[in-house]
Every structure is written in structure tokens, then in C-alpha cells.
């Protein structure tokens, strides 16, 4: 008799990387639009902090939303990994542009925000997929 083997599910998938890349792309587009508005003097310097805050919340949420494929996956874990990947990619891009970033509590706080909003985005999609089944 053939013995059945159980494959362990991995926590990382290409879908999570795709979601993180999509979130990074949206963040870059948002920053480019803000920089153009600042260049054309359509927005003042006071707009930088609110737009940055909105992008820090919306983009990891989008990453978590697009990382979830089906409701059988664990939405919290999937979204958290997508949010973490998003933050790692954005900080890596910052390091390349600036030439190095020293660790700080602000970076740690941004990482926690990205993980939490990535989880929220995946849970929202999980609820939407669950409602479509019914």
C-alpha cells in the first residue's frame, strides 16, 4: 500500500511578492505625483506629511489585499508577510537612494504599521471571497 505523504504549506508564495510589488508601485506613483505637485507649486510643503501617512497605510493594505488568493489560506499570515515584504522593499529602495539608513524606532514603527495594514487588507479580501461563496 502506498504511504501518503503530507506536504507542509510554506508561508511564502509568489502571490505575496506580487502584492508587495504592486503596493510598492502604487507608493512610487503616489510619491511621484506629490513631487510633481510640489514642483509645479500646486501643493505646499505641509502636504508631505499627510500624503506620506496615507501612502504608508494604503499601500501595504493593497499589498495584503492582492496577496490572498483564496479563503482557505490564512489571511492574517498571508497579509502580514505581504506587508512585511512591502516595507523591506521600500526601505531597501530608500537605502539605495540615500546611501544607507541607520535603524531607528521610526523604521520599526513603519514596519509594524505595514504588517498590520497588510493583515487588514488580506482579511478584507478573505471576507469578500467568503461572501461570494455564499
Closest Cα to residue 81, out of 13, 2, 8?
13
Query: Can you list the alpha helix ranges (DSSP code H) found in 40-104?
Result: 48-67, 75-98
Calculate the alpha carbon distances from 89 to 49, 60, 65 in Å: 21, 11, 17
Residue 70, C-beta contacts closer than 8 angstroms, at least 6 positions apart: 129
Per-10-residue mean pLDDT, the chain, length 134: 58 86 96 96 94 96 90 83 96 90 90 96 89 73
Closest Cα to residue 53, out of 1, 94, 106, 3?
106
At 3 the pLDDT is 61
- What is the value of pTM for the model shown? 0.85
Amino acid at each position: 500500500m502506498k504511504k501518503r505523504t503530507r506536504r507542509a504549506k510554506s508561508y511564502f508564495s509568489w502571490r505575496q511578492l506580487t502584492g508587495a510589488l504592486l503596493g510598492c508601485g502604487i507608493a512610487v506613483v503616489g510619491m511621484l505625483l506629490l513631487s510633481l505637485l510640489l514642483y509645479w507649486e500646486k501643493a505646499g510643503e505641509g502636504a508631505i506629511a499627510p500624503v506620506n501617512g496615507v501612502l504608508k497605510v494604503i499601500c501595504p493594505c493593497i499589498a495584503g489585499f492582492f496577496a490572498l488568493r483564496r479563503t482557505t489560506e490564512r489571511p492574517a499570515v498571508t497579509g502580514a508577510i505581504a506587508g512585511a515584504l512591502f516595507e523591506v522593499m521600500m526601505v531597501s529602495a530608500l537605502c539605495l537612494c540615500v546611501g544607507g539608513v541607520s535603524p531607528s524606532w521610526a523604521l520599526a514603527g513603519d514596519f509594524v504599521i505595514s504588517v498590520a495594514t497588510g493583515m487588514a487588507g488580506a482579511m478584507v479580501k478573505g471576507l469578500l471571497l467568503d461572501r461570494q461563496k455564499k
